[in-house]
Amino acid sequence: MKTIMLTSLASMIVLGSVGVNALPHCPGGGGHWSYETQRVKVCDRETETYTTTHRDCDYSGHIYLGHLWNTPDIPLSPVRYTSFYTQVSESSACPSSKYMHESGTYWYTKPDGFRTIGWYDYTGTIANTRDQLITETHERVVETNCRYENKVVRVWRCGMEP
C-alpha cells in the first residue's frame, strides 16, 4: 500500500513539473523563458479634477394632426403627445417653447379598391418644462515629461532554447 502511494505521489510531481514548462498556447506544450529588451514609453502621470457646467432644457406638450388628403384605413389620433430634450451652454437660456414637426405614412384605400400610402404631419409648439443649470465633476489623467526607456522583460517562447 505504501508503495502505491509513493508511486502515485511521484507521478503527480512529475506531471506537475511538466505543466510548469508547458503553456497552453504552444503547440506540443514546450517552451522556455527568454529575456529581451523593449523600448517603452514612460511618463509622469497626474490626475486632474475639473468641472463642466451646462443647462438642461426639457420640453413637452401636444402637437396636432394636419390636413389629410385621404381617409386612413386605421384612424389617426388628432392629437399626439411629444417631448424633447436639449443642452445649451451655461451662459445661454432655454427658449420658452419649441416648434415640433413629426411626419410619417399611413395606408388608405383608393376608390378603385387598391391600397396605397399617404403622408401625415403633426405640428405644434411645446412648452419648456425644465431649465436647470447642471455642474458635473470629471477626472482626467495628464501625462508630462514623457520619454522612452529600455526595459528588460521576461517573455515566454515556444520551442526549445536556441
- Residues 19-57: tens digit of each pLDDT: 444 455 777 777 888 888 889 899 999 999 999 999 999
Across the chain, what does the average pLDDT equal?
Answer: 86
Torsion of CA 76, 125, 91, 134, to 10 degrees: -40
Beta strand spans in the chain (E): 31-65, 79-89, 97-109, 115-158
Look up residue 133 and give its amino acid: L
Predicted pLDDT at 87: 93
- Cβ-contact 76, 108 below 8 angstroms: no
Q: Is the pLDDT of residue 9 over 60?
A: no
Tens of pLDDT, residue by residue over 92-107, are 999 999 999 999 999 9
**Which distant-in-sequence residues (6+ apart) come within 8 Å of 72 by Cβ?**
106, 107, 108, 118, 120
Residue whose entry in the numeric block shows the C-alpha cell 394632426: 65
With H, G, I as helix, E, B as strand and everything else as coil, classify residue 78.
coil
**pLDDT band with cut points at 50, 70 and 90 for residue 162:** low
CB atoms within 10 A of CB 108: 16
